[in-house]
């Protein structure tokens, strides 16, 4: 069965436009509470990022869950991976994240975690959708859910992050600049790195409900690049609004993406004899990552774009490490989902062990020129499967003569078609990407 509301990363959209409305969230809370209750007793954690609409949706979900007889534990602003972790440690039936991740403040969304801190199985999402179309009921008064707040949630998660590195770890002498995107990591991330001994300069950690991801964080790295150079820091770390993505900046101000971070972590694990299996990337992973891992004799496979698919592939193969070039990195040896702080710590640990700068450590991976162009589209026509677009892709692929690749896909979180071209020659790759983007734009017009 196809899903009506759930996409690849929960339910997401523009605030005030169905289904991202208070009345829908009330019903969603009730439907989720009823579905989770069928699994037994019901305790649900709710966390959120810092966007202003989170208050409204938190209250609506809380009321719906209570009406279904589910007890609610409120976490306040917390990174998405923290909610996955706390859902496990509190032995809750589910965790709910109110966040639109790297999107601007006027978007929001809902993600669910199972009691094991993993994505919900399809059958449970379908059960929730079925209940959304049923009349809403209220349990008898004596069975209404109670609501409480977890006051030490941040401290618990900080300690969990620190436990992902050896207790002897000391980053004394390491100068970091950390960009928190005015998001969910604004208090937690600086605390983790400082408590491990690093000297930390913090950017974008004054959330006001409207400035999340606004020209900052992992989607806008310019300010972080400039700050690393200005402060003569060893490196910079950029998070997105809900802290499940991380990118870095080396001491020269150069951007270091998720493919390069994944390479560093995998290589370090291999050298320690701790790498289990290989590495899972995505269709968007740079060809250079695949070639660099092949030189190390580390297996590499590509999943569809989205952490759901990376995680699924890791589970199927019983591997531990995977991620996306956007900075969504999964370290299964430590946690159950993509976690930006834990991924950053694994990179810092590798650099410390090697005695290398980030600039030197990334040299083992030579990225192929890759150009990504986003084309916005409205509903109706599916531009990716339109004959004019598929014909244009075939022509470009033929002209590249086996020395590159073309990928067109619709974003799972925004109304965008992502046009990606990769090959040997950067000017040629850009020309082909622009050519395909024009065709997609014409089809969408």
Whole-prediction pTM value?
0.90
Closest to 10 in 3D by CA, of 25, 418, 22: 25
Among candidate residues 211, 230, 256, the one where a domain is terminated: 256
Residue list for the binding site for Mg(2+)? 101, 240, 242, 244
| Per-residue pLDDT tens digits for 261-303 | 999 999 999 999 999 999 999 998 998 999 899 999 999 999 9
Do 175 and 133 share a domain, yes or no?
Answer: no
Q: What is the mean predicted confidence (pLDDT) over 405-433?
A: 89
pLDDT of residue 411: 81
Total structural domains within the chain: 4
At 132-179, the pLDDT tens digits run: 999 999 999 999 999 999 999 999 999 999 999 999 999 999 999 999
pLDDT tens digits, 230-263: 999 999 999 999 999 999 999 999 999 999 999 9
Query: Is the domain of 201 the same as that of 276?
Result: no
Cβ–Cβ < 8 Å for 28, 61 = yes
Structural domain includes residue 357: no
Give 136-179 as a DSSP string: P----GGGPPPEEE-TTHHHHHHHHHHTTS-TT---TT-EEEEE
Catalytic status, residue 148? no
DSSP state of 363: G
State which H helix or E strand residue 105 sits in.
Answer: none
Q: How far is C-alpha 105 from the geometric centre of its chain's CA atoms?
A: 16
Bind-site residues: 101, 240, 242, 244
Question: Is the pLDDT at 380 greater than 90, yes or no?
Answer: no
- Among 298, 322, 339, the domain-final residue is 339
Instruction: Tell me the per-residue pLDDT of 308-342, one tens digit each, with 9 for 90 and over.
Output: 899 999 999 999 999 999 999 999 999 999 999 99
pLDDT of residue 210: 98
Q: Which domain holds residue 410?
A: 370-444
In the predicted model, what is the mean pLDDT of the chain?
A: 95
CA pair distance 335, 83, nearest whole angstrom: 11
- Is residue 112, in this structure, part of any structural domain at all? yes
Helix (H) or strand (E) segment spanning residue 247 = strand 246-250
Nearest to 162, CA basis, from 309, 367, 348, 355: 348
CATH number, position 239: 3.40.120.10
Tokens, residue 234: 């060893």
Give which of 282, 291, 288, 229 is closest to 255, Cα–Cα: 229
Checking if the pLDDT of 445 tops 80, the result is: no
In a domain, 165, yes or no: no
Q: Flag whether 198 is in a domain.
A: yes
Same-domain pairing of 24 and 146? yes
What does the alpha-carbon distance between residue 196 and residue 77 come to, in Å, rounded to a whole number? 23
Please identify, among 256, 283, 298, the residue that sits at the C-terminal boundary of a domain: 256
Residue 364, pLDDT above cutoff 70: yes
Same-domain pairing of 122 and 183: no
**Integer Cα distance of 390 and 398 in angstroms:** 12
- Residue-level length of the chain: 445
125 falls within a domain? yes
Domain of residue 427, CATH code: 3.30.310.50
Catalytic pick among 66, 101, 114, 204: 101
For the chain, give the percent of residues with pLDDT over 90: 87
Task: State whether 125 and 193 are in the same domain.
Answer: no
Burial 76-105 (b: 16+ CB within 10 A, else e): bbbbbbbbbbbbbebebbbbbbbbbbbbeb
Q: Which of 116-125, 139-148, 203-212, 351-360 is predicted least confidently?
A: 116-125
Q: Which helix (H) or strand (E) holds 353?
A: helix 340-354
């Amino acid at each position: 069965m196809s899903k009506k509301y759930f996409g690849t990363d929960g339910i997401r959209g523009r605030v005030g436009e169905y289904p991202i409305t208070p009345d829908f969230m009330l019903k969603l809370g009730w439907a989720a509470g009823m579905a989770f209750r069928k699994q037994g007793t019901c305790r649900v954690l709710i966390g959120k990022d810092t966007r202003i609409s989170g208050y409204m949706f938190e209250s609506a979900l809380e009321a719906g869950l209570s009406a279904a007889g589910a007890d609610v534990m409120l976490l306040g602003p917390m990174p998405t991976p923290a909610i996955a972790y706390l859902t496990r440690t509190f032995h809750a039936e589910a965790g709910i994240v109110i966040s639109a991740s790297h999107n601007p403040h006027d978007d929001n969304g809902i993600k669910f975690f199972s009691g094991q801190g993993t994505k919900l199985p399809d059958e449970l999402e379908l059960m929730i959708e079925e209940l959304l179309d049923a009349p809403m009921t209220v349990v008898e008064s004596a069975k209404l859910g109670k609501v409480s707040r977890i006051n030490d949630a941040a401290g618990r998660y900080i300690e969990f992050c620190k436990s992902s590195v050896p207790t002897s770890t000391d980053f004394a002498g390491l100068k970091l600049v950390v960009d928190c995107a005015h998001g969910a990591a604004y208090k937690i991330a600086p605390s983790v790195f400082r408590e491990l001994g690093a000297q930390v300069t913090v950017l974008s950690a004054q959330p006001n409900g409207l400035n999340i991801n606004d020209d900052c964080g992992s989607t806008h790295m310019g300010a972080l690049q400039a700050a690393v150079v200005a402060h003569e820091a060893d490196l910079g770390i950029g998070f997105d609004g809900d802290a499940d993505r991380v990118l870095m900046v080396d001491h020269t101000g150069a951007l270091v993406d998720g493919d390069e971070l994944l390479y560093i972590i995998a290589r370090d694990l291999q050298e320690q004899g701790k790498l289990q299996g290989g590495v899972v990337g995505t269709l968007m992973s740079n060809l250079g990552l695949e070639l660099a891992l092949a030189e190390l004799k580390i297996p590499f496979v590509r999943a569809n774009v989205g952490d759901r698919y990376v995680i699924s592939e890791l589970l199927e193969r019983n591997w531990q490490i995977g991620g996306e070039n956007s900075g969504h990195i999964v370290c299964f040896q430590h946690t159950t989902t993509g976690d930006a702080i834990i991924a950053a710590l694994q990179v810092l640990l590798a650099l410390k062990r090697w005695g290398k700068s980030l600039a030197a450590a990334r040299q083992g991976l030579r990225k192929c020129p890759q150009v990504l162009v986003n084309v916005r589209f409205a509903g109706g026509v599916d531009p990716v499967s339109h004959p004019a677009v598929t014909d244009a892709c075939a022509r470009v692929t033929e002209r590249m003569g086996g020395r590159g690749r073309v990928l067109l896909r619709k974003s799972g979180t925004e109304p965008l078609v992502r046009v990606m071209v990769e090959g040997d020659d950067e000017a040629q790759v850009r020309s082909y990407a622009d050519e395909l983007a024009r065709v997609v734009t014409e089809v969408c017009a």
